[in-house]
Amino acid sequence: MDPAEFRRLGHELVDWVADYRAGIEDLPVMSRAQPGEIEALLPADPPVKGEGLADIVADLDRVVLPGITHWTHPGWFAYFPANTDLASVLADLVSSGLGAQGMNWQTSPAATEVENVVMEWLRRMLGLPDTFSGVIQDTASTATLCALLCAREWTAGYGQNRGGLQAEPHPLVVYASDQAHSSVRKAALLAGFGAENLRLIETDDAHALRIDLLEQAIEQDMADGRRPCALVAAVGTTATTALDPVEAAARTAQRHGLWLHVDAALAGTAMICPEERWMWQGIEHADSLVLNPHKWLGAGFDLSAYYVRDPEHLVRVMSTDPSYLRTAQDGVVRNLRDWGIPLGRRFRALKLWFVIREYGVEGLQERVRRDLANARWLQAQVDEAPDWQRMAPVPLQTVCLRHVPAELRGDETALTIHNLTIADAVNAAGRSYVTSAVLKGRQMIRVSIGAQATERRHVEGVWAELRAAAGEPAVVSGEPAAAGSPADA
Amino acid sequence: MDPAEFRRLGHELVDWVADYRAGIEDLPVMSRAQPGEIEALLPADPPVKGEGLADIVADLDRVVLPGITHWTHPGWFAYFPANTDLASVLADLVSSGLGAQGMNWQTSPAATEVENVVMEWLRRMLGLPDTFSGVIQDTASTATLCALLCAREWTAGYGQNRGGLQAEPHPLVVYASDQAHSSVRKAALLAGFGAENLRLIETDDAHALRIDLLEQAIEQDMADGRRPCALVAAVGTTATTALDPVEAAARTAQRHGLWLHVDAALAGTAMICPEERWMWQGIEHADSLVLNPHKWLGAGFDLSAYYVRDPEHLVRVMSTDPSYLRTAQDGVVRNLRDWGIPLGRRFRALKLWFVIREYGVEGLQERVRRDLANARWLQAQVDEAPDWQRMAPVPLQTVCLRHVPAELRGDETALTIHNLTIADAVNAAGRSYVTSAVLKGRQMIRVSIGAQATERRHVEGVWAELRAAAGEPAVVSGEPAAAGSPADA
């Protein structure tokens, strides 16, 4: 495509994206497409002759849009907020347009150096000490795999350069809580530890890691001739945003020589507000840490921030040095290909650079505080509503709840069906989208607040919809219910 | 950023990208930035107040552009072509603007279903049988890691669900040629095999895997109580585009129960031309295959195509099934989170969809044939020039050469310095960018042809520049030298 055609179509597509975002509230949050419906709209064979992209906007409306679940919708309460601020969309346009590869410093010095700078900016915003060095990864799953690989090689004294994991005399063991994200189990299995060497430790009533049971498990493994290797602590678990005690976890890790990886994928963003940093007290002792600016902070997917205390160790585990990748600057610059699994690297730092410049630290803090206040408001409503049960503390922006009417009390099967039905009804209506999940055997509804467009009225709206779906007196969406008023009881 | 501001700035940045691409030939291919120069242009602290992006175009010109090495420049002969056609830039704009996550089918059905369709399109374009199922990965490095993890679990009977690799009674062994890409070694080490269980088999004079030596190595390992696990064959090695014999490799793999992974990262694109498919004869026997549409084909980075013969095995190795990711459609759709390492997935299929529609199969074939012809032209020049040595066959678009003047013949140290000096001189001039590499101890210059903008005159240009840098009679760039004319001798 030549630049003139790109200019013409580019303007058209910028307008299409602007119109999409401006009108998003009128779309059903969750796509109503049925399996196979989108595929059926496309030919089975590729076009033999080029068709150009003259009809592309029509095809986006016809084929793509009906199959999109709208993550930036103000009624987005599912999974996690993934805000993809429009400033980061612009940054991605520049990144794609430049088509630069940041695998080596020399293959585009700006890609590496802007990344160095914005990862330092973010480190300062989070209040992390300068003993941490940061690098962008695609996802927290990948970052956690990197962490467990680094833990493995650290414990095994770089066994990868000898017989590998298969030559280890004592099985290496990984620890996390039973609320750890599925990516921790996946990473442990992919890294070769094996399910039998993964300990998912029971959690307390707040769904946080129990250090006493962790200590017991470590002692038992050592007595059995196994070798404790890594501990993954979550600051903000996926199901309920539970907070594992980082400081105590770090003490245990230090005592037994474990690598401490902290998964703050979602919660990390809240740490740009100094008053929230009690949640990861002790973070300076972590060996590695991941948080996702592509969630709540507003950078478009994919942009995970991975911080390590010993970048030389990371590089030693990940580096390759074939002659065709060597450059004159190798000794004095970072070659970020050696800081993760993939060789090729997109220029992703631009997204974070644009978002931080657009809002400034204070602008981003303000939005986080708005979302935290909205979550506390919903928490208060749930606590005051007699037939509703809050399933977990609300330190962050996720409220876990379920409806427990008197007639179903004690009947878990009936409660499961009842709450799945409520969530399905809300999601089918299309104004809001919540996630169903199971917490320690009990069905619940997760309301994850933090989409950029979500204001108090939308949180009031989803609460009214949940109550209506549960058969409670209708509360008209958009008409703010006074907190604690009799109507809520 | 609100949609109105996005619209205004979006138009401005589309124009900036269009101007950048239109004027790229006037820029030096390789960035002239010095280490630290870009970092020094940015403040150490993030802005406290939002600044907006009013000055962003000025900052792109001031900070970013001087630090960009221009991968889409017509004088790009380094590493590999990474064309990032402007149609794929538009696709990426749509993908970013939608901000959709394709981790589950339900989180945006179009992301999964458009990916299914375009991966089928690409499969048909490549002449691959329908026994292959495709999925998009970020890079060939990641795909190769997936392949070795799948090989490991296949040989070990899903040992990951028990004691992992550390419980395997016999060491598992991985085989590849000594010309295999560095990512093969990296993947083998990360997957836990250990360097001692990686065999890099010697290659023949054409730098292709020697099956006889492979067989010997396998027999020896079995005699030593090890367990052959995986074979990685390259169709188009990175250094010289050498072709491992896939058919013979497949026979060996089948005989000894090895997983066969084929790395056709660059060369795969050429297979859209039926007349080139002799290069990977036997490909239907591969267990897994990776090629990179983000290289020569024109899709923007990152878009690797990973094909497997048994997707259920891939899913069994990669799947996670926590309650918060379960959806009503799980039994009837693909959830692509289970087809690779990362959980989150960008809507990358749009890039391939746009590029194939823009050009059609014939348009893409035509470009590949142009580039192959350009490489054959350069090959002929080198072969006819008495003081130049071609270092490898040229089945594809990469010509490996070096200057061997009479007075330096036999002095490898002097030849190394001489050829590094030639490459540095060409790169410093800024009109072309070539890669220096070492092939079996001998310094060479790789001329990798295939940037979309590269026409015959640019190939003539780099050849003239190489000759001039070597002290040969000047050939004016842009004035086509008649192939085989006395001036070339």
Which residues from A are below 8 Å from B329, CB to CB?
35
Say yes or no: B315 and B457 in one domain. no
Q: Is the separation of the CB atoms in B261 and B306 below 8 Å?
A: no
Instruction: Yes or no: say if A107 and A319 are a contact pair by the CB < 8 Å rule.
Output: no
Contact of A473 with chain B, judged by CB distance below 8 Å, is answered with no
- The predicted pLDDT at position B328 comes to 74
In a domain, B55, yes or no: no
State yes or no: pLDDT of A322 exceeds 90. Answer: no
- Is residue A398 within 8 Å of A449, Cβ to Cβ? yes
| Residue B419, pLDDT score | 98
Q: What is the pLDDT of residues A125-144, one digit of tens each?
A: 999 999 999 999 999 999 99
User: Do A120 and B171 make contact, defined as CB atoms within 8 angstroms?
Assistant: no
Q: Are residues B232 and B261 in the same domain?
A: yes
Interface residue A344 vs chain B (CB under 8 A)? yes
Rounded to a whole number of angstroms, the distance from the CA of B472 to the nearest CA of chain A is 26
Chain A residue whose CA is closest to B168: A166
pLDDT for B226 beyond 70: yes
Question: Of B300, B319, B347, which marks where a domain is finished?
Answer: B347
Q: Is A109 contained in some domain?
A: yes
CATH of the domain at B18: 3.90.1150.170
Residue A481 falls within a domain, yes or no? no
CB contact under 8 A, B437 and A193: no
In a domain, A416, yes or no: no
Q: How confident is the model at residue A475 (pLDDT cuts 50, 70, 90)?
A: low
B276 and B186 both lie in a single domain: yes
Tell me the pairing of strands A433-439 and A76-77: parallel
Distance from CA of A190 to the nearest CA of B (A): 7
B156 φ/ψ angles, rounded to the nearest 5 degrees: -90, 5
Long-range pairs, A275-279, Cβ under 8 A, ≥24: A276/A368, A276/A372, A277/A127, A279/A235, A279/A236, A279/A243, A279/A395, A279/A396
Residue A351: what pLDDT?
97
CA gap B377, B483 in Å, rounded:
8
Nearest-CB residue to A85 (from B1, B47, B325): B1
Which domain, by its residues, includes B297? 100-347
Q: pLDDT-derived band of residue A223, with 50, 70 and 90 as boundaries?
A: very high
**Same domain for B213 and B270?**
yes
> Which residue in chain B is spatially nearest to A347 when comparing CA positions?
B301
Write out chain B residues lying below 8 Å of A152, CB-based. 192
Q: Which residues in chain B have Cβ-Cβ distances shorter than 8 Å to A160? A: 189-190, 192, 194-195
Q: Is B480's pLDDT higher than 60?
A: no
pLDDT of residue A190 exceeding 70: yes
How far out from the chain centre does Cα B29 lie? 19
pLDDT higher than 60, residue B67: yes
- Which of B31, B161, B324 is nearest residue A238 as measured by Cβ atoms? B324
Tell me, yes or no, whether B318 and B423 share the same domain: no
Q: Taking CB atoms and an 8 Å cutoff, what residues of chain A touch B301? A: 99, 101, 344, 346
φ and ψ at B159, to 5 degrees? Answer: -60, -20
Is B68 within 8 Å of chain A by CB? yes
Are B271 and B128 part of one and the same domain?
yes
Query: Is the pLDDT assigned to residue B476 strictly greater than 90?
Result: no
User: B322 and A357 in contact by Cβ < 8 A?
Assistant: no
DSSP B328: T
Indicate the residue of B63, B141, B197 with minimum beta-carbon distance to A163: B197
Whether residue B214 is contained in a domain is answered as yes
Residue A288 lies in a domain: yes
pLDDT in the model for residue A372: 98
pLDDT value at residue A320:
80
Q: What is the pLDDT of residue A327?
A: 74
* Residue contact B346–A302, C-beta within 8 A: yes
**Structure-block tokens of residue A481:** 């219910």
Q: What is the pLDDT of residue A384?
A: 97
Q: Confidence class of residue A474 from pLDDT cuts 50, 70 and 90?
A: low
Residue B10 lies in a domain: yes
* Whole-number percent of chain B with pLDDT over 70: 96
Q: At what angle do helices B140-155 and B182-190 cross, to 10 degrees?
A: 50
Contact of A196 with chain B, judged by CB distance below 8 Å, is answered with yes
Average pLDDT over residues A53-70: 94
Residue B38, chain A, CB below 8 Å: the answer is: yes
Distance CA(A290)–CA(A232), nearest Å, equals 11
Contact B89 A196 (CB under 8 A): no
**In chain A, how many domains are there?**
1
Residue B413 has a pLDDT of 96
The answer, yes or no, to whether ipTM is higher than 0.90 is yes
pTM for the structure as a whole = 0.95
Residue A120 with chain B: CB contacts under 8 Å: 44
CA nearest neighbour of A5 among B22, B83, B303, B76: B22
pLDDT of amino acid B332: 85
Co-location of B285 and B384 in the same domain = no
In the Cβ-directed half-sphere of B387, how many Cα atoms lie within 13 Å?
A: 19
> Does residue B270 carry a pLDDT above 60?
yes
Of A10, A42, A149, the CB nearest to B90: A10
For the cut 60, the answer to whether the pLDDT of residue A485 exceeds it is no
The predicted-structure confidence for A373-423, as pLDDT tens digits, reads as follows 999 999 999 999 999 999 999 999 999 999 999 999 999 999 999 999 999
Chain B partners of A42 at a C-beta cutoff of 8 Å?
A: 114, 117
- Domain of A214, CATH number, reads 3.40.640.10
Q: What percent of chain A has pLDDT over 70?
A: 96
The closest CB to that of A44, out of B71, B120, B326, belongs to B120
**Is B11 part of the contact surface with chain A (CB cutoff 8 Å)?**
yes
Domain shared by B272 and B128, yes or no: yes
Condensed to tens digits (0 to 9), the pLDDT of residues B122-165 reads 999 999 999 999 999 999 999 999 999 999 999 999 999 999 99
Whole-number pLDDT of residue A488: 37
From A147, which residue of chain B is nearest by alpha-carbon distance?
Answer: B190
Q: Are residues B328 and B222 in the same domain?
A: yes
Which residues fall within 8 angstroms of residue B482, CB to CB, at 6 or more apart? none
- Residue A256 has a pLDDT of 98
pLDDT surpassing 80 at residue A486: no
Is A445's pLDDT higher than 70? yes
Residue whose structure tokens are 């402007």: B86
Contact status, residue A87 vs residue A358, Cβ threshold 8 Å: yes
Q: Inform me whether the pLDDT recorded for A241 exceeds 50.
A: yes
Q: In what order do the strands lie in the sheet with B133-137?
A: B133-137, B304-308, B288-291, B259-263, B227-234, B172-177, B198-201
Backbone torsions φ then ψ of A49, nearest 5 degrees: -95, 150
* Segment A327-341, tens digit of pLDDT: 777 778 999 999 999
Q: Which residue of B has its CA nearest to A353?
A: B46
Higher local confidence (pLDDT), A250 or A169: A250
At A476 the pLDDT is 47
Instruction: State whether A160 and B435 contact (CB < 8 Å).
Output: no
Mean pLDDT, chain A, whole residue set: 94
Per-residue model confidence as pLDDT tens digits over B314-323: 999 999 877 7
Question: B474: pLDDT confidence band, cut at 50, 70 and 90?
Answer: low
Indicate whether B367 and B323 sit together in one domain: no
Residue A96 binned pLDDT confidence (cut-offs 50, 70, 90): very high
Q: How far apart are CA A399 and CA A379, in angstroms?
A: 6
Distance from CA of B166 to the nearest CA of A (A): 4
d(CA A146, CA A141): 9
The pLDDT of residue B483 is 39
Indicate if the pLDDT at residue A145 is higher than 90: yes
> In terms of domains, do B319 and B421 share one?
no
Q: Do the Cβ atoms of A164 and B124 come within 8 Å?
A: no
Burial class, A223, CB count within 10 angstroms (exposed 0-12 / middle 13-18 / buried 19+): exposed
To test the contact with chain A by mutation, choose from B57, B64, B335, B421 the residue with the greatest count of A C-beta atoms within 10 A, namely: B64
pLDDT of residue B167: 87
Of residues A328 and A300, more confidence is placed in A300
Residue A299, domain member (yes or no): yes
**Residues 244-263 of chain B whose Cβ lies under 8 A from any Cβ of chain A:** none
Q: Which residue is closest to B99 within chain A, CA to CA?
A: A84
B141 contacts A138? CB cut-off 8 A: no
Contacts of A88 in chain B (CB under 8 A): 96
Q: Do A10 and B18 touch (CB under 8 A)?
A: yes
Contact: A30, B106; criterion CB under 8 Å: yes
pLDDT, tens digit (0-9, with 9 covering 90-100), for A364-374: 999 999 999 99
Residue of A nearest to B88 (CA): A96
Residue A133 has a pLDDT of 97
Q: Which of A149-163, A329-343, B168-182 has the lowest mean pLDDT?
A: A329-343
- For the segment B355-410, what is each residue's pLDDT rounded down to a tens digit? 999 999 999 999 999 999 999 999 999 999 999 999 999 999 999 999 999 999 99
Residue B363 has, within 13 A of its CA and on its CB side, a CA count of 17
Nearest to A438 among B66, B191, B323 (CB): B323
Q: Are residues B339 and B367 in the same domain?
A: no
Contact B103, A71 (CB under 8 A): no
Torsion angle defined by CA atoms of residues B233, B237, B242 and B248, in that order, rounded to the nearest 10 degrees: 0
Q: Is B31 on the interface with A (CB under 8 A)?
A: yes
